[in-house]
């Protein structure tokens, strides 16, 4: 049989297990030009929460009663498509199914010799690309500048911080536990970190850790941490709005301090970043990230949850910060 995870109902606020349902389907048969894929690793990501809303966004919303999809590493089990051979591994936006059919469109072959399969969902996948391209296009790091990264122990944040170090920046990370702060310093080479959960005055804590002010902020969380950063930015600061996980589960439009006055006073820039708008830059970016990986300049971390049926829980755990690095389900 073939387990499939569907969106059972749209979440109100924080998603719950009951919003998902596992159903059993028949294992499909590939037709002419098609391949049969078996999912090996499934990426669960905060942005999927947005697709669970019934509203226009940059990717179409999921439909109630239909399967969720996300980035998946799959093995070609059988192939009627000359471009793919049995036993090859591919990545692509695939459904949360144990087995599925593809005509090959949108699949990328991946090389297990270059890096482990799961790296292609993280440091060499969308999360690594998100960190690299956003810093390249918006951050424009200069040696000696101070980079602050929120969600610093996460898949994007940990790569962003390491790229900061490679570029000669002082890098301070923000994360939600002392364990994560220890990890970003010991494993990823950050110069310092702030546990926002145990810090009452983030503005002051940032001022202390960033005595020369903040030049670039890689923001994965939005909300009050962004506000605190804004009160410490330097002239010509660049704020990369890459994620706003603190807002994703809110039903009402959240309010906060108006930032336009600070932007003017500091001649600062805030820019939203979606990696999907930069597909043409993926090739060179993967090459650079792959080179750093081989040189040992780039490390990565992943949290691997075993069992296809645990995919919804792994997704929910993202919002409790239970992952360190890329959250992946091993099917």
Nearest approach, Cβ of 255 to a second copy (angstroms)? 5
Q: Does 106 bind a second copy (CB under 8 A)?
A: no
By CB atoms closer than 10 A (0-12, 13-18, 19+), residue 39 is buried
Q: How far is the CB of 153 from a second copy (least distance, A)?
A: 20
| Least spacing, CB of residue 150 vs a second copy, in Å | 11
Contact predicate 167/141, CB 8 Å = yes
Residues in region 268-287 near a second copy by CB under 8 A: 268-274, 277
CA distance 305 to 100: 21
Site for a second copy in 40-59 (CB under 8 A): 57-58
What are the residues facing 231 on neighbouring strands? none
Closest separation in Å from C-beta 260 to a second copy: 4
Alpha-carbon gap, residue 249 to 307, rounded angstroms: 26
Burial of 140 (0-12, 13-18, 19+ CB in 10 A): middle
Q: Is residue 265 involved in binding a second copy (CB under 8 A)? A: yes
Q: Is 129 in the site for a second copy (CB under 8 A)?
A: no
Residue with the two structure tokens 């310093």: 185
Least distance from C-beta 139 to a second copy, angstroms? 13
Q: Do the Cβ atoms of 25 and 4 come closer than 8 Å?
A: yes
Evaluate the CA torsion angle 283, 287, 290, 296 in order and state its sign: negative
Alpha carbon of 141 to those of 79, 146, 151, 153, 288: distances in Å? 45, 9, 19, 20, 16
Report the residue number, 154 or 290, with the smaller CB distance to a second copy: 154
Question: Which residue lies nearer to a second copy by CB, 219 or 302?
Answer: 219
CB of 20 to a second copy, least distance (A): 24
- Kindly state the smallest distance separating residue 241's Cβ from a second copy, in Å: 5
Region of 21-29, 102-110, 251-259, 300-308 interacting with a second copy (CB under 8 A): 251-259
Report if residue 206 touches a second copy, rule: CB under 8 A: no
**C-alpha span between 185 and 21 (Å, rounded):** 39
Tell me the three-class secondary structure of 80-93, residue by residue: CCCCCCCCCEEEEE
Q: Which stretch, 36-44, 165-173, 247-255, 294-302, contacts a second copy (CB under 8 A)? A: 247-255
CA distances from 301 to 45, 57, 190 (A): 15, 30, 14
Q: Name the one range near a second copy by CB under 8 A: 38-46, 106-114, 263-271, 293-301.
A: 263-271
Q: Does 154 bind a second copy (CB under 8 A)?
A: no
Which of 33, 116, 144, 257 touches a second copy by CB under 8 A?
A: 257
Interaction site with a second copy (CB under 8 A): 57-58, 219, 222-223, 226, 235-236, 241-244, 247, 253-274, 277
């Amino acid at each position: 049989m073939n387990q499939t995870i569907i969106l059972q109902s749209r979440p109100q606020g924080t998603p719950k297990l009951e919003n998902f349902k596992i159903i059993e389907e028949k294992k499909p048969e590939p037709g002419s030009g098609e391949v049969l894929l078996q999912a090996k690793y499934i990426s669960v990501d905060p942005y999927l929460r947005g697709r669970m809303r019934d509203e226009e966004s940059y990717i179409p919303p999921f439909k109630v009663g239909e399967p969720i999809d996300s980035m998946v590493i799959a093995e070609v089990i059988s192939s009627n498509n000359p471009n793919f051979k049995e036993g090859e591994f591919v990545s692509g936006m695939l459904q949360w199914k144990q087995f599925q059919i593809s005509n090959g469109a949108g699949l990328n072959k991946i090389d297990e010799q270059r890096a482990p399969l799961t790296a292609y969902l993280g440091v060499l996948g969308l999360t690594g690309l998100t960190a690299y391209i956003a810093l390249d296009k918006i951050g424009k790091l200069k040696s000696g500048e101070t980079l602050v990264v929120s969600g610093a122990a996460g898949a994007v944040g940990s790569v962003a911080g390491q790229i900061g170090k490679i570029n000669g920046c002082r890098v301070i990370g923000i994360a939600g536990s002392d364990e994560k702060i220890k990890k970003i310093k010991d494993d990823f080479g950050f110069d310092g970190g702030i546990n926002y959960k145990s810090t009452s005055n983030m503005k002051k804590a940032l001022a202390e850790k960033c005595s020369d002010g903040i030049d670039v902020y890689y923001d994965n969380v939005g909300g009050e941490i962004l506000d605190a950063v804004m009160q410490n930015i330097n002239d010509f600061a660049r704020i990369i709005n890459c994620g706003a996980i603190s807002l994703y589960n809110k039903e009402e439009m959240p309010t906060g301090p108006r930032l336009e006055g600070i932007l003017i006073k500091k001649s600062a820039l805030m820019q939203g970043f979606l990696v999907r708008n930069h597909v043409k830059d993926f090739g060179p970016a993967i090459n650079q990230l792959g080179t750093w990986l081989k040189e040992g300049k780039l490390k990565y971390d992943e949290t691997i949850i075993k069992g296809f049926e645990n995919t919804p829980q792994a997704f929910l755990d993202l919002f409790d910060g239970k992952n360190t690095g890329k959250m992946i389900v091993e099917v």
